[in-house]
Amino acid sequence: MEFGPRYAIYFVPSADSALYRFGSSVLGYDCYTGETIPYPAELACQAPSWARMVEEPRRYGFHATLKAPFSVLPACTQAQLIDAFESFAISERQTPTIVPVIELLGDFAAVLPRDSESAIDALAARCTTVFDVFRVPLSAHERARRMAAGLSPTQIENLDRWGYPYTFSDFRFHMTLTSRIAPEAQARTLAALRRSFERLCGYQTIAVDRLVLLKQDAAQANFRVLSQARLPADR
């Protein structure tokens, strides 16, 4: 990449949570340790094809995006970014919650909130704006790649201003589980994921209780957890 490593700010469940054990096993990757891990029993029987299904999302780890991956300006250091990240987490004033469901978002599967949650939308908006001072402007190559997806006028405005099209009114909290699923495979894939989810963690309320700063060292490398910070209890 033109500007070295990339960073991202995500919600990643705690490493010892049932939710994280589910999501990381679906992707076959633990972004806390950097290790490959076995797929859950419901998916292990189709391991070769499932590995292809999750090849792209596993690079990012099991997460929900709050500030999309970005390269850091040459004048800024990693230490400065970590300091800003930790200070931001301390300044937050509540811990949003969601009731999870597993559904399609477009043509890929994800853990989604059953209901919209304005506190999460606001948290993502703050992450987008506050950390933009560190971001290298979007390259022409990356802009063209994003534009090829067929963006709306608002998404193009977001892309040009914030380096990512799905912000503010176009943001939707989600924790990706697959890449694109062929239409004929969608029903059985969702069924397998739901069985695994119910067995491993159940449909309990999820607290979005932490922010995690991740780093990608090179273009094809997997993201790894660099720093994490608990959000304060509601105050």
pLDDT digits (tens, 9 = 90+) for 52-66: 999 999 999 999 999
What is the model's pLDDT at position 232? 83
Domains of the chain, start order: 6-230 (3.90.1140.10)
- Cβ atoms of 179 and 57 within 8 Å: the answer is yes
Q: How many residues would you count in the chain?
A: 235
Helix axes 153-162, 140-147, angle to 10 degrees: 160
What is the model's pLDDT at position 1? 41
pLDDT digits (tens, 9 = 90+) for 106-158: 999 999 999 999 999 999 999 999 999 999 999 999 999 999 999 999 999 99
Q: What is the mean pLDDT of residues 78-97?
A: 95
Structure-block tokens of residue 26? 């679906």
Closest CA to 135 of 7, 1, 2, 12: 7
pLDDT digits (tens, 9 = 90+) for 198-231: 999 988 999 999 999 999 999 889 999 999 999 9
What is the model's pLDDT at position 3? 55
- Sign, CA torsion 147/151/157/159: negative
pTM of this prediction?
A: 0.95
